[in-house]
């Protein structure tokens, strides 16, 4: 197959934009490779040059969202106008809000039984990317006496487990009352993990 002449980055972005739009309209299972190619006005052969399956596109879409929210977290890292507790709260809130985009479309797709391997890879990747920022926020909190995290890495590990639990809560689509209760409990547990005063962590969706 001849190499497409268009800049691959532009074409990939076009594929991802088209696919995400179709997922929104027809759902993950309702969208086919043929649908995507037809919507773009290209052959399926051209599509397969970039992605071998719908699962690969899903993972690429997830990675694009991850890059976006990691960029948001990075932007606030060096801010002196935000306290370490606010930074930790925002880091968690940013991840959860991204999980809610498109009416949780990508979240529902990644929790599909067929995509469990993708979910595991994405979950590990998110944890790896969040670690340096989380540790930095904990260090800042310890230095300013807002936190008293004796073992920052262990504290962060617990926080990331809590974050994963909250993501699963969103996937379950529990009632507003249950969600509120779990968010409050998560805030209290994170405060204990950080050795922070009650009421310093606020998670928003």
The verdict on 15 and 58 lying in the same domain is: no
Q: pLDDT at position 6, please? A: 64
Q: Give dist(CA 87, CA 73) in Å, integer.
A: 8
The verdict on 127 and 96 lying in the same domain is: yes
The verdict on 178 and 92 lying in the same domain is: yes
Instruction: Output DSSP code: residue 198.
Output: T
The parent domain of residue 84 ranges over 54-194
Q: pLDDT at position 8, please? A: 82
108-157 tens-digit pLDDT: 888 888 899 999 999 999 999 999 999 999 999 999 999 999 999 999 99
The verdict on 13 and 46 lying in the same domain is: yes
Into how many domains does the chain fold?
2
Q: What is the mean pLDDT of residues 196-201?
A: 97
Q: pLDDT at position 3, please? A: 45
Query: Buried b vs exposed e over 109-136: b needs ≥16 C-beta within 10 Å?
Result: bbbeeebeebbeebeeebbebbeebbee
18-64 tens-digit pLDDT: 999 999 888 899 999 999 999 988 888 888 889 999 999 999 999 99
The verdict on 113 and 24 lying in the same domain is: no
As a whole number, the mean pLDDT across the chain is: 91
Q: Give dist(CA 94, CA 183) in Å, integer.
A: 14
The verdict on 128 and 39 lying in the same domain is: no
Give the CATH number of the domain where residue 18 resides. Answer: 1.10.10.60
Give the CATH number of the domain where residue 137 resides. Answer: 1.10.357.10
Q: Give dist(CA 181, CA 49) in Å, integer.
A: 47
Q: Rounded to the nearest 10 degrees, what angle do helices 84-99 and 152-172 cross at?
A: 30
Q: Which tokens sit at 125? A: 């990747």
Residue 205 lies inside a defined structural domain of this protein: no
Radius of gyration of the chain (CA): 20
pTM of the model: 0.88
The verdict on 87 and 72 lying in the same domain is: yes
């Amino acid at each position: 197959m001849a190499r497409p002449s268009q800049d691959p980055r532009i074409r990939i972005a076009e594929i991802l934009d088209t696919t995400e739009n179709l997922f929104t309209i027809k759902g993950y299972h309702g969208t086919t490779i043929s649908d995507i190619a037809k919507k773009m006005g290209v052959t399926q052969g051209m599509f397969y040059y970039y992605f071998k399956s719908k699962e690969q596109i899903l993972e690429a879409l997830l990675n694009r969202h991850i890059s976006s929210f990691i960029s948001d977290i990075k932007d606030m890292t060096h801010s002196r106008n935000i306290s370490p507790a606010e930074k930790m709260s925002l880091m968690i809130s940013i991840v959860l809000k991204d999980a809610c985009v498109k009416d949780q479309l990508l979240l529902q797709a990644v929790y599909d039984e067929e995509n469990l391997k993708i979910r595991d890879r994405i979950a590990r990747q998110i944890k790896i990317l969040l670690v340096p920022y989380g540790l930095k926020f904990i260090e800042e909190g310890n230095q300013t006496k807002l936190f008293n995290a004796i073992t920052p890495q262990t504290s962060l590990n617990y926080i990331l487990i809590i974050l994963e639990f909250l993501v699963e809560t969103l996937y379950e689509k529990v009632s507003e009352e249950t969600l509120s209760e779990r968010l409050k409990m998560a805030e209290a547990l994170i405060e204990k993990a950080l050795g922070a005063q009650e009421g310093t962590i606020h998670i928003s969706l």
